[in-house]
Amino acid sequence: MKILFSPFSPYVRKCLVAAHELGLDGRITLLPSNAHPVNRDRDIIANNPLGKVPTFFTDDGQVLYDSRVICEYLNDLAGGTLVPKTGPARWETLTLQSLGDGMLDAALLARYEDVARPEALRWKDWRAAQLDKVETSLGWLEQHSGSLEARVDLGSLTLACALWYLDLRFQEFGWRDRHQGVARWQAQFSQRRSLGMSWSL
């Protein structure tokens, strides 16, 4: 199996964290890529018309994207429990994953405003609105932080990757002071070996 890789992509990280949790990480080869929202990588587009990472190649020749599909595939391949098969637990897990992915989507749009848009065209209110999506999501998580304690699934792993990305790109955001329950959960949950891994080509 192979994955188009960027060391700073939280979505690639999500896939690799899931693979590690499932015992599949040693079977995945990292392929260099150069995804960019403006200067699009034609090598990625040749396999994924969206031109985004992660793009994943299965051993039987399928090409999968995005991270949600890849993680479901890995979970199925390993016979794992990161995504429950049926019932309320499945929908809770997938909804929590969507919350984490939504936080990442918003954070990436704010990041692109900083680094991809010409300075004269940057829209301060747009950036603030994207980070407000992150803030309101953290507020909801703070109210429900107790429900995170016992879970290790694709939802909680996605949230951990979202918080990793906030720490990587938005240190000035200072979310821990406002959301101490989430901060306590993150500090404990990030001790998992999968989340402490550092991948490079």
What pLDDT does residue 200 have? 83
Please check whether residues 54 and 122 belong to one and the same domain: no
Contacts of residue 101, defined as CB under 8 A and 6 or more positions apart, other chains included, come to 11, 67, 68, 158, 162
What pLDDT does residue 118 have? 95
Please check whether residues 71 and 102 belong to one and the same domain: no
- The model's pLDDT over 101-159, given as tens digits with 9 standing for 90+, comes to 999 999 999 999 999 999 999 999 999 999 999 999 999 999 999 999 989 999 999 99
Range of the domain at 142: 87-196
Q: Give the total number of structural domains in the chain.
A: 2
Please check whether residues 16 and 105 belong to one and the same domain: no
Q: Which two tokens stand for residue 42?
A: 């034609």
Domain boundary at 33, 61, 78, which? 78
> Is the pLDDT reported for residue 201 higher than 80?
no
Mean pLDDT of 14-34: 96
- The model's pLDDT over 52-86, given as tens digits with 9 standing for 90+, comes to 999 999 999 999 999 999 999 999 999 999 999 99
> Is the pLDDT reported for residue 199 higher than 90?
no
**Amino acid present at 185:** W
